């Protein structure tokens, strides 16, 4: 089994996607929001690319969330904030979501054999599920505004480490090994380290420090989100 880690949203190629299991990581915050939404009772997530498209899906059964460069769009119910979303019961509703990096990464990798969503919150469940299929795996870091995001690299490194421990025989790329080394060296500095990353600092400036603390929790959830058509569901519901 080959494991490749892709460092930014634009670095993905068809070779990284076709016939593979792709895990989209966007720790701060899209992946964490998606895991949290499914964990707290949303029936599905509908990722979209424009605010107009999101608003066109408004109905009694939808909740609309998202941001562009951290600012909530006019007319939306929520920012891309997992801790805000959790405050109210939306059981059975569908979350329409647009984010700066995460939903773009999901769209770019949509042709994967299986597309899973991962972050610290569901890291072990996600890795376990990725191994089952026995396909090659691409760990796809969404990053931030076309740049590498350290928090995504650390989560990728943890996944690589778990994969090495659990899969029978794997081959890793240099970037996967580098991220594993970073994770092993720095894991003890979580959650503090996430406050010092580029996205972490931006979130603090915008009063979203609570999200950083929340998103740094390891294995809070057993939910593994999977893309089915144009929706993201919990794998256990498919």
Stretch that binds ligand L3UKIRZJ, among 65-73, 107-115, 175-183, 186-194 (CB under 6 A): 65-73
- Region 76-115 residues binding ligand L3UKIRZJ, contact defined as CB under 6 A: 80, 99-102
- Contacts of residue 168, Cβ cutoff 8 Å, sequence gap at least 6: 1
Stretch that binds ligand L3UKIRZJ, among 25-33, 49-57, 110-118, 153-161 (CB under 6 A): 25-33
Nearest to 187 by CA among 223, 159, 167: 159
State how far the Cα of 172 lies from the Cα of 183, in Å rounded to an integer: 15
Q: Does 199 bind ligand L3UKIRZJ (CB under 6 A)?
A: yes
Q: Does 26 bind ligand L3UKIRZJ (CB under 6 A)?
A: yes
- Contacts of residue 11, Cβ cutoff 8 Å, sequence gap at least 6: none
- Exposure pattern of 48-73 as b/e (b: 16+ CB <10 Å)? beebeebbeeeeeebbbbbbeebebb
Q: Does 36 bind ligand L3UKIRZJ (CB under 6 A)?
A: no
39 vs 67 by CB, closer to ligand L3UKIRZJ:
67
Task: Kindly state the smallest distance separating residue 44's Cβ from ligand L3UKIRZJ, in Å.
Answer: 18
For residue 233, what are the CA distances in angstroms to 37, 150, 152, 184?
Answer: 10, 27, 22, 31
163 vs 179 by CB, closer to ligand L3UKIRZJ:
179
How many residues belong to the site for ligand L3UKIRZJ (CB under 6 A)?
A: 17
Q: Does 67 bind ligand L3UKIRZJ (CB under 6 A)?
A: yes
For residue 197, what are the CA distances in angstroms to 7, 30, 52?
Answer: 15, 16, 31
Task: Kindly state the smallest distance separating residue 203's Cβ from ligand L3UKIRZJ, in Å.
Answer: 6
Q: Does 138 bind ligand L3UKIRZJ (CB under 6 A)?
A: no
Q: Does 69 bind ligand L3UKIRZJ (CB under 6 A)?
A: yes
8 vs 221 by CB, closer to ligand L3UKIRZJ:
8
Choose which of 58, 202, 228, 231 interacts with ligand L3UKIRZJ (CB under 6 A): 202
Contact residues for ligand L3UKIRZJ, defined by CB under 6 A: 26, 28-30, 67, 69-70, 80, 99-102, 142, 144-145, 199, 202
């Amino acid at each position: 089994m080959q494991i490749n880690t892709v460092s930014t949203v634009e670095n993905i190629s068809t070779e990284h996607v076709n016939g593979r299991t792709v895990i989209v990581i966007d720790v701060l915050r899209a992946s964490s929001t998606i895991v949290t939404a499914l964990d707290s009772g949303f029936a599905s997530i509908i990722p979209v690319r424009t605010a107009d498209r999101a608003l066109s899906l408004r109905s009694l059964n939808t909740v609309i969330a998202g941001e562009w460069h951290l600012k909530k769009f006019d007319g939306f119910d929520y920012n891309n904030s997992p801790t805000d979303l959790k405050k109210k019961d939306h059981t059975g509703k569908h979350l329409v979501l647009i984010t700066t990096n995460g939903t773009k990464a999901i769209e770019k990798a949509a042709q994967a054999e299986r597309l899973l969503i991962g972050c610290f919150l569901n890291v072990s469940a996600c890795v376990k599920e990725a191994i089952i299929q026995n396909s090659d795996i691409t760990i796809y870091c969404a990053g931030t505004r076309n740049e590498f995001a350290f928090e995504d690299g650390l989560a990728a490194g943890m996944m690589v480490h778990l994969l090495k421990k659990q899969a029978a025989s794997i081959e890793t790329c240099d970037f996967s090994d580098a991220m594993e080394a970073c994770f092993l060296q720095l894991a003890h500095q979580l959650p503090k380290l996430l406050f010092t990353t580029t996205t972490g600092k931006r979130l603090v400036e915008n009063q979203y420090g609570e999200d950083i603390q929340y998103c740094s929790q390891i294995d809070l959830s057993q939910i593994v989100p999977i893309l089915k058509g144009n929706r993201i569901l919990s794998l256990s519901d498919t």
